[in-house]
Chains A and B, each alone.
Chain A
């Protein structure tokens, strides 16, 4: 006789609320049902009642971890409608902030993953390193959560001292290479705990429409930074990380290796920062009528924005699709036939974000 176990909404593995109801036979999970919507704020509706400048501030609050990517993707969509060109220096600064955000998000995830595995010393090491990344973000933007760096047609603040930031980036780079990458790719404790569990086949990954490191760990060769480059990715070059073992281990390794690529991009962008203005001067308050979509690669995968303008200073429609909205349902495909004890780690492996999912 199968029995059901509710996990959440106050979740054992995460700070954010969502509910997974597992049906189990003994220790083995047979099926699950996922429920979200505990932190819905109707940000899309609110965005349709504010002007474009206020919306930049609003959409940055969709997510507390990948905040910058929401403002930048919204700005990209509006810039497409209005035909606004972003100056080269601003494109580079947008890339630097986006990659720093990815780095701190992946480190946050790695810390939580290590904690779920029971590797507490690793958690300490990683959070120390993450703090250094946060220091860089604070030095650039003056903020630690919502950076407020993005504006229509550019960025709000300049990077005035690339050398001091490069020094910290170098420290992070060395520690990633020396501590984080070897432990996440070779340590027997990590491998024992993650190898072969939570399989998401390539077919399932495509049918569920999964994105980001989760999809790339299931052999889907898709990274918006490479396939449809924006900001400065076309200038800086980009190396995608894809694995096809489809398990939790693959997701761990993809994220670990992506961190190295992020540091390389940050260093490269800082070294080659073009001179010039950080924003265009002639951005209208009223955006011409039209519609556009924009996609960019957030730490958890593709963020999608659809913005429609009716020629006023307030958007007619803002549709936000966050990566977790498509990644969380795929839990159902991952848990079948898995042990109950592996549930927190399998769920953690998709790096779910409920504040994004609910909006």
Chain B
């Protein structure tokens, strides 16, 4: 377990992860998601999911949640100009969640093998979970 954490710390460029009740948390400002995905797959970790959180500066925080038995490793990074490299070519488990984040938060995952909308209804604009867009849609609907 310690070796995995050391390997990740070297990869992410952060000395010590934060230890919380729900696992280890890394904060990565400059992250190569593909290298991270490869390292986690080699260590038999499973990508549980990826969370997207809207930031006030127009970017999106992305948290990769990897798990293996009792161990949970969460790696947080931020998009640059709403873009991030896709890890779906390494991990098929990232395929749908990246499509979903693209639908809901308008993040482009570069190199995604199948970037079609996943569950966004046709009448909804891309990024309809972002506060500004969500409120605009709601006002339009109320006006009807």
A residues with a Cβ closer than 8 A to B are 36-37, 40, 42, 44-45, 80, 206-209, 211, 221-222, 227-228, 292-295, 302, 304, 306, 308, 316-317, 319, 321, 325-326, 329, 357-358
**B29, CB-defined interface residue at 8 Å:** no
Interface string of B34-64 (1 = CB under 8 A from A): 0000000100101111011110000000010
- The answer, among A304, A329, A358, for a CB contact under 8 Å with B92, is A329
A62 vs chain B, min Cβ distance (A): 13
Contact B49 A321 (CB under 8 A): yes
Please determine whether B69 and A222 come into contact, CB atoms closer than 8 angstroms.
yes
Which residue of chain A is the closest to B25 with respect to CB atoms?
Answer: A291
With both beta carbons as reference points, the residue of chain A lying nearest to B69 in the complex is identified as A227
A329 and B22 contact, CB distance less than 8 A: no
> A209, B48: Cβ atoms under 8 Å?
yes
Q: Are A293 and B47 neighbours in the complex by a CB distance under 8 Å?
A: no
The reply on B93 being an interface residue by CB < 8 A is yes
In the complex, are the beta carbons of B96 and A325 less than 8 A apart?
yes
Q: A208-B92, A329-B92 are in contact. Are A304 and B49 (CB under 8 A)?
A: yes
Q: Which of B1-33 contact A (CB under 8 A)?
A: 20-23
The total of interchain contacts (Cβ-Cβ below 8 angstroms) comes to 86
Contact status of A209 and B46, CB under 8 A, knowing A292-B22, A293-B22: yes
Cross-chain pairs A/B with CB under 8 angstroms, 9 sampled: A42-B129, A44-B129, A45-B134, A80-B21, A209-B91, A221-B69, A302-B67, A306-B51, A306-B63
B126 lies within 8 A of chain A by Cβ? no
Query: Is the Cβ of B119 less than 8 Å from the Cβ of A358?
Result: yes
Q: Fill in one digit per residue for B79-117: 1 if any A CB lies within 8 Å of its CB, else 0.
A: 000000000000111011100000000000000000001
CB-CB nearest in chain A for B23: A293
- Interface contact B120-A293, CB-CB below 8 Å: no
Contact B48 A227 (CB under 8 A): no
- Please state if A207 and B41 are interface contacts (CB–CB under 8 Å): yes
| In the bound complex, CA of A211 to CA of B69 (Å) | 12
Is there an interface contact between B53 and A317, defined as CB atoms closer than 8 Å?
A: yes
Instruction: Encode B104-144 as 1/0 by CB contact (under 8 A) with A.
Output: 00000000000001111100000011000010000000000
Q: Are B96 and A329 in contact (CB under 8 A)?
A: yes
Residue in A37, A293, A326, A358 whose CB lies within 8 Å of B72: A293
Q: Are A36 and B22 in contact (CB under 8 A)?
A: no
Are A37 and B91 closer than 8 Å at their CB atoms? Answer: no
Residues of A within 8 Å of B23, CB to CB, are 293
Is B77 at the interface (CB under 8 A from chain A)? Answer: no
| Chain A residues closer than 8 Å to B92, beta-carbon distance | 207-209, 329
Q: Is B118 a contact partner of A37 (Cβ separation < 8 A)?
A: yes
B70 touches A228 (CB 8 A): yes
Among the listed B51, B93, B121, B129, which residue makes an inter-chain contact with A326, where contact means beta carbons less than 8 Å apart?
B93
| A209 and B47 contact, CB distance less than 8 A | yes
Contact of A295 among B52, B72, B95, B120 (CB under 8 A): B72
A308 surroundings in chain B (CB, below 8 A):
53
CB of B142 to closest CB in A, whole Å: 14
Q: Is the CB of B48 within 8 A of A228?
A: no
B78 interface hit (Cβ, 8 Å): no
Residues of A within 8 A of B121 (CB): 37, 40
Write the nearest CB–CB distance from B119 to chain A, whole angstroms.
3
The 9 closest A-B pairs by CB, nearest first: A209-B93, A37-B119, A321-B49, A227-B69, A319-B51, A306-B51, A40-B119, A228-B70, A293-B22
Complex Cα distance A209/B91, Å? 8
Give the complex CA separation of A306 and B67 in angstroms: 14
Q: Say yes or no: B119 contacts A36, CB within 8 Å.
A: yes
Q: Quick check: B129 and A302 within 8 Å, CB to CB?
A: no
**Chain B residue contacts of A316, Cβ below 8 A:** 53
Docked complex Cα distance between A108 and B67 (Å)? 29
**A220, chain B: closest CB distance, angstroms:** 8
The answer to whether B51 and A295 have CB atoms under 8 Å apart is no
Other contacts beyond A40-B120, A306-B65, A321-B97: 4, CB < 8 A: A42-B129, A302-B67, A319-B52, A329-B96
**Residue numbers in B under 8 Å from A326 (CB-CB):** 49, 93, 96
- Given A206-B44, A206-B46, A293-B65 contact (CB < 8 Å): yes
In angstroms, Cα B54 to Cα A207, docked, is 28
User: What is the bound-complex CA distance between A306 and B48, given in angstroms?
Assistant: 11
Cβ of A319: which chain B residues have Cβ within 8 Å of it?
49, 51-52
